[in-house]
Every structure is written in structure tokens, then in C-alpha cells.
Amino acid sequence: MRSTYACTVSRLILLNGAPGSGKSTLARLYAERHPLTLALDLDLLRSMLGSWLDRPTEAGLITRSMAIEAARVQLLARRDVIVAQYLGRIRFVLELEHLARQTGAAFLEIALLSDAEDLAARFYRRSAQPETATHLDAAQLQDRSGGEAALHQMSERLLDVLVHRPRTLRIESVDGQVEAAYSALVAAIDATVAPAGERWSPP
């Protein structure tokens, strides 16, 4: 159960993780089990832009701007937003933090971490049998970006971001253990009691 405090303050939850870590799955589960929470899927939003694969950098910037505005509407209505997105650079993290301050929301940063080899295996297994169009898009983009070697680099960049955001809570993501990761995610979110617009402190 959310506290009385939590019911009056919206929460902007960043769920960071490399491709294949399960972040989108966890975000969807959280939204399904917490009615009216917005699971903001930037990959899905980006896929609505025509021929975005031909201009991925520009498409990414447009998508992030649209995501910020969608999240703003939700947060001002005092409803939660969970953003499941790989962020290997800090800029968008700071933009989300700024949005939380603007809207009086609590800002939570959570990272899903996995063994690099396991992560690559999961990503390519998903790519071979995509369940959604965004999975197929992700596979095509990854091939254009350098394949498996690029996946390892993305994991390293995520760790670099965490160096600069030491208060980010880390959750282990293990292949086939979705409910365990989900329970850890919910525990982290429900433990949050932070003044509006401030970053959270882990329990």
C-alpha cells in the first residue's frame, strides 16, 4: 500500500538498463498492476516516426522531447510515470530530474544490471523471436550500431552513468526470473518517501 504522502505526490521512475535486461517487461507489469500509471515506452513512441531508422539520432531527440511532455501531463495530474529506457549518457537523466522538480514529483532512479554474456544471449534470443515490432526495431538498430560488441559497450556506458548517479538503486536482472525482479522493483518504489521534486534516498 502506498502511504498517505505517496498518494498526494506523483512519482517519476526511471528504469535504466541495457537492451534485453527486461526493463520494458517490468514497466508494463508495473503499469498493469497499478492502474493509471503511465509506462512510457520511448521505443514505441519513436516507432511512430516515419523512416526513423534512417535518421536514428534525430528521431531519438524528437522522441525524448515528446516523452517529456507526455510525462508532464501525467505528473501534473498526480499520477505516476515509469520510463523504461537505456540511457548510457547522463543528459536525459538530468532532463527527467528537472521535470520532476518542475511538477513537484518524486524522482526515482533504478538500474537493471545483468551479466554481459547473459544479456547478449537474451537480446539475440529475443531478436530471433520478436514478440513486438519494437523488438524487431531494436534488433535492426543494434545491427546497424555494431552488433554484440556494441551491446557490451552499452553495458559499460550504463555503469559509467551510475558512477555519476551513486544513489541509483541497482536491481539484478536474471534470465527467467521476472517476478523476482518485479518484486525488487516494487519494494524500491514503495519504500520511497521523498519531498516533492527531490531525488529519493534508498531505504
pLDDT at 109: 96
* pLDDT exceeds 90 at position 33: yes
Q: What does the CA dihedral 12, 69, 22, 182 come to, rounded to 10 degrees?
A: 30
Long-range contacts of 163-166 (CB under 8 A, 24+ apart): 164/90, 165/90, 165/93, 165/109
3-class secondary-structure state, position 17: strand
Mean pLDDT score across all residues of the chain: 82
Taking CA atoms, 84 is separated from 1, 16, 17, 50, in Å, by: 23, 6, 8, 22
Band (170; pLDDT cuts 50, 70, 90): very high
Provide mean pLDDT across the span 100-115. 92
pLDDT at 123: 61
| Per-residue pLDDT tens digits for 47-97 | 899 988 889 899 999 999 999 999 999 999 999 999 999 999 999 999 999
* pLDDT exceeds 70 at position 162: yes
* pLDDT exceeds 50 at position 6: no
* pLDDT exceeds 50 at position 4: no
Domain residue extents for the chain: 4-190
172 sits in which H/E element? strand 169-172
pLDDT at 97: 97
Name the class of domain 4-190. alpha beta
| Per-residue pLDDT tens digits for 115-131 | 766 666 666 565 555 56
